[in-house]
Amino acid sequence: VTPLTKWAETVAQPQESGGNTESSDKLREAFIQSAAVETFFLWHKFKKEKEREEKEKKEANGELPGFSSSVDGGEQNPQTLLQNGTIPPDFLRLMFYTLGDYRDICVGKTPDGIDTVSGKDTMENIKKAIESVFKPSSGTPSLSVEKTTRESWWEKNGEHIWKGMICALTYKENGADGTNKIEKDSDVYKKIFGENNTDPDKKLTVTTVDNKGTFESKYKYEKVQLGEEEASGPNAPASPTSPQANGTRLAEFVTRPAYF
């Protein structure tokens, strides 16, 4: 949550009019950036773990690392799937829970285990900064009023935070020149977000169903969901307090009481 941490450090005392547009916009940007950064590094870690699992599997089967026993290389790896516009089900589930954590922070809850990562003082600063955005000039609101304001804010901005997470998957590290420069992967971006066809006179931009990309068809906030195959995957949560996500849309999933 580094961008959120930086934002919290810049927030002054409560404004005369809490929840003003400028403060709300800055809060949204901090949430978008934090969720995107976390998704980017989670994706990198996810791929490394899958590579390790594949290597261990091959070694257990007596295969040489780097060689496949099948012509097509067996199951597609995470990056290959993404290059075709598909987010691996296991990682999509991880993204659901990550967004749930950010909603948790927004509405005034502390996600389990986050204190050990960010530190209690850091989370307390973020909590106070968010409170200052939603606190009206007339004084401290009742808990029910503040909760409604926070939840209303999330309902309005949750989809933008989610899209930022999807956008993060369209970036990659380019270390060819000895640096860890992060750049846009245009091929992945087009597969996920599509591209527009422009007429020769450049007077009209026409977007067809064929070039909208998988975001429009599968991964938009109000559409994306986990099916039974994802819910039964190896990374499915085993905790009895975790919600079943079979066929559950993201917008519903992050608000389930069982999640928190």
Poorest-confidence range of 122-131, 149-158, 162-171?
122-131
Write the pLDDT tens digit of every residue in 61-94: 877 655 444 333 446 799 999 999 999 999 999 9
C-alpha–C-alpha distance, residues 158 and 160, integer Å: 5
For 91, phi and psi rounded to 5 degrees?
A: -75, -35
User: What structural domains and CATH numbers belong to the chain?
Assistant: 2-187 (1.20.1310)
pTM: 0.76
Question: How far is the CA of 60 from the CAs of 50, 56, 63, 64, 76, in angstroms?
Answer: 15, 6, 8, 10, 19
Of 37, 72, 77, 39, whose CA–CA distance to 55 is shortest?
77
226: nearest Cα among 254, 252, 242, 247: 247
pLDDT over threshold 80, residue 18: no
Q: Which residue has the higher pLDDT, 96 or 5?
A: 96
The residue-averaged pLDDT of 109-127 equals 69
Q: Nearest-CA neighbor of 131 among 254, 214, 229, 8? A: 8
